[in-house]
Amino acid sequence: MDVAHECFVAEGYGSTSMSTIAARLGGSKGTLYNYFKSKEELFDAFVRRSCSRLQGLLEAQPGDGDARERLVRIARDFLDHLLSPDAIAIYRVVVGEGERFPELARLFYEAGPRTGIAKTAALLKALMDEGVLRSDDPVLAAHQFKDLALSGVFNLRLWGVIADPTPAERAARAETAVDTFLRAYAP
């Protein structure tokens, strides 16, 4: 997986071959195919591994504390994960190659963003059921929540326009995003 990560990030999805990965591993292509039936399956596993950290953080969110504190932790988790060098590298590969390889964008969406939004929606739905947030479409609310957290920083970081924000800058962004979200979804 580490070698596949290096190859996909350095060479892109289209230019990376199973032969290249096998050669860097020092093994045979046949052995690699015993583990992954195709380059697409290997990319899927690579993305899932990368996204598993955020999924774990979202699942481990404690149910105690006030809603604002819980949401700030989630917003910080989004920022920390999605601004990480690995996540930025994966986004760049998907954006750069997604048009030529539509299956790549689909795999990425299913393994990462779709799963993260679903988990966030479940957390927001629980807050809606508790009456902390007004009842609405929790999936739409999850998208808006994530977008507020990443607003003004993710694309700039993705494009290489700004350096990685400091932990203090991320914390401030998370708090601002949550305060805005809570005003929008007040009961």
Q: Are 119 and 58 in contact (CB under 8 A)?
A: yes
Say how far residue 6 (Cα) sits from the centre of its chain: 18
Q: Give CA torsion, residues 162, 49, 141, 158, to 10 deg.
A: 20
Greater model confidence, 59 or 21: 21
At residue 182, the 3 state secondary structure works out as helix
* pLDDT average, residue stretch 170-180: 97
CA distance linking residue 126 with residue 121, whole number of Å:
9
Q: What is the DSSP letter of 65?
A: S
pLDDT at 57 exceeding the cut of 80: no
**pLDDT score at 176:** 98
- Cα–Cα distance measured from residue 4 to residue 25, given in angstroms and rounded to the nearest whole number: 9
Provide CATH code, domain 47-184: 1.10.357.10
pLDDT number for residue 55: 67
- 155 or 41: whose pLDDT is higher? 155
CA 70/CA 79 separation, integer angstroms: 14
* pLDDT, average across residues 133-142: 97
Which one has a higher pLDDT value, 162 or 108? 162
CA 3-59-132 angle, to 5 degrees, is 145
Q: Where are the alpha helices (DSSP H) in 60-165?
A: 67-82, 85-97, 102-111, 113-129, 138-150, 154-158
Residue ranges covered by each domain of the chain: 47-184
Q: Looking at the predicted structure, is the pLDDT value of residue 180 above 90? A: yes
Show the tokens assigned to 76.
């910080």
Residue 87 has pLDDT above 90, yes or no: no
> Would you state the pLDDT for residue 108?
85
Average pLDDT, the chain: 89
Q: What is the pLDDT of residue 64?
A: 64
